[in-house]
Amino acid sequence: MRLVLAEDAALQREGLVGILERAGHEVVAAVGDAHALLTFTANTHPDAVITDIRMPPDHSDEGLRAAAEIRSAHPQTAIMVLSAYVADAYVAELLDSAPGGGIGYLLKDRVGHVREFLDSLDRVASGGTVVDPEVVRHLLRRRRRDGPLATLTDREREVLALMAEGRTNASIADKLVVSEAAVRKHVGNIFAKLPLDPHSDRRVSAVLAYLRGAAN
């Protein structure tokens, strides 16, 4: 796929370019700040954007703000946030801009293998949603106690959190040490309780509803 990469640390940026190109992807631009990210994305129309959060000039949340702006202007562009930090600001805006999925949020230090990162990127580019478990836990700690998420049981929220990590039903069953049939039942209950986008994949829509409820 064609990619635009934004990472202000030169060594990390070049390392990611090498990883992506060896995997067969075309990095049409590799930049070090959010302004360049916005410019090259608008000019090259990539399939996906990979961006850090903290970038010049203020090293706060420029990358996340740019990602939300890109998805608003170019809703078909997949977004992979790759950062050392969990940020609250603009996460809700980014999720709200992605009714059909195509959003990922991984923490650099928790990516154990290059293949894991590349597989996550492929899922996001295909319209999936992949969020690091630590990001999910952080959002849930500040989750409101009202809204549709409040209708889920503890087990259903646990299943949905694992769905947000990009896990299949079989993987969720292994993680929870239950049968795959039990997981399918929980997933069905989740689909019935949450307000889902009728035009999107139900699994992706459920995960996005979950993450929006946690981020808002």
What's the CATH number where 214 sits?
Answer: 1.10.10.10
Residues 53 and 112 in one domain: yes
- Is 196 found in the same domain as 163? yes
* pLDDT at position 20: 97
Closest CA to 67 of 34, 99, 106, 96: 34
Cis amide bond preceding 133, omega within 30: no
pLDDT of residue 143: 54
Q: Is residue 83 part of a domain?
A: yes
Asked whether residue 156 is domain-assigned, the answer is yes
Output the pLDDT for position 2.
Answer: 97
Per the domain annotation, does 182 fall within a domain? yes
Of the residues 79, 111, 132, the one at which a domain ends:
132
Please tell me whether residues 17 and 91 are part of one structural domain.
Answer: yes
- Give the structural domain span for 94: 1-132
What 3-state DSSP class applies to 32? coil
Clarify whether residues 18 and 123 are in a common domain: yes
- Asked whether residue 12 is domain-assigned, the answer is yes
User: Of 52, 49, 161, 29, whose CA–CA distance to 108 is shortest?
Assistant: 52
Distance CA 99, CA 75 (A): 9
Supply the DSSP string of 58-102, one letter for each residue: TTSSHHHHHHHHHHHH-TTSEEEEEESS---TTHHHHHHT-TT--
Examine the domain organization and report whether 164 and 190 are in the same domain: yes
Whether 111 and 175 map to the same domain: the answer is no
Q: Decide which of 97, 132, 167 is a domain's last residue.
A: 132
Residue count of the chain: 216
* One domain for residues 85 and 126: yes
Report how many domains make up the chain.
Answer: 2
Closest C-alpha among 40, 131, 135, 24 to residue 85: 135
The sheet carrying 48-51 orders its strands as: 26-31, 2-6, 48-51, 78-83, 103-107, 129-131
Domain assignment of residue 198, yes or no: yes
* CATH value at residue 34: 3.40.50.2300
Q: What is the pLDDT of residue 58?
A: 82
pTM over 0.85: no
Q: Which of 101, 132, 163 is the last residue of a domain?
A: 132
Answer whether residue 137 is part of any domain. Answer: no
**Residue at 138 is within a domain:** no
At 100 the pLDDT is 63
- Per-residue pLDDT in tens (0 to 9) along the chain, 216 residues: 999 999 999 999 999 999 999 999 999 999 999 999 999 999 999 999 999 998 888 888 889 889 988 988 888 899 999 988 877 666 666 766 666 678 898 999 888 899 999 999 999 999 888 888 887 777 666 555 556 677 888 899 889 888 888 889 999 999 999 999 999 999 999 999 888 877 778 888 888 777 776 655
Residues 125 and 157 in one domain: no
Q: Are residues 21 and 108 in the same domain?
A: yes
Are residues 171 and 150 both part of a single domain?
yes
Cβ–Cβ < 8 Å for 76, 98: no
> Looking at the domain assignment, is residue 199 inside a domain?
yes
> Is residue 17 a contact partner of residue 63, using CB atoms and an 8 Å limit?
no
Residue 86: the pLDDT is: 79
Question: Under DSSP, is residue 211 helix (H, G, I), strand (E, B) or coil?
Answer: helix
Helix ranges restricted to H, the chain: 10-22, 34-44, 62-73, 91-96, 114-125, 133-141, 154-164, 169-176, 180-193, 202-215
